[in-house]
Amino acid sequence: MSVAQDTFSNFQGGLQSPPRNSFAITPSDTAELPFVTRSIYVGGTGDLTVRLAGDAGQLLIKAVPAGRTPPLRVRQVYVTGTTATGLVGFY
């Protein structure tokens, strides 16, 4: 089995760079995400209730279409108010 070569592995990534890692998001009213996201993939249309990286309060984002990856720096996705499914965090 061959190993994929990463010719950019020695470069510092910035916020305009593509994300390098991902994780499945399980919404929770109590637990923060393991990493602050750079974007969130939405697999199934619905609402997102989140807390952004720099905010203390909740933000409701209505009717996010399926297949979208809004560039959101999020520290928490709340189960209450979130109806979107198939969420993946990129960082």
Q: Hey, where are the domains in the chain?
A: 37-90
pTM: 0.88
- Mean pLDDT value of segment 55-64: 94
The answer to whether the beta carbons of residues 72 and 39 sit under 8 Å apart is yes
The Cα 2–Cα 22 span in angstroms is 23
The label of the residue with tokens 């939405």 reads 42
What is the per-residue pLDDT across 1-53, written as a single tens digit (0 to 9) for each? 788 988 877 877 777 788 889 999 999 999 999 999 999 999 999 999 999 99
Length of the chain: 91
What is the per-residue pLDDT across 67-81, written as a single tens digit (0 to 9) for each? 999 999 999 999 999
3-state secondary structure of 3: coil
CA 84 to chain centre: 12
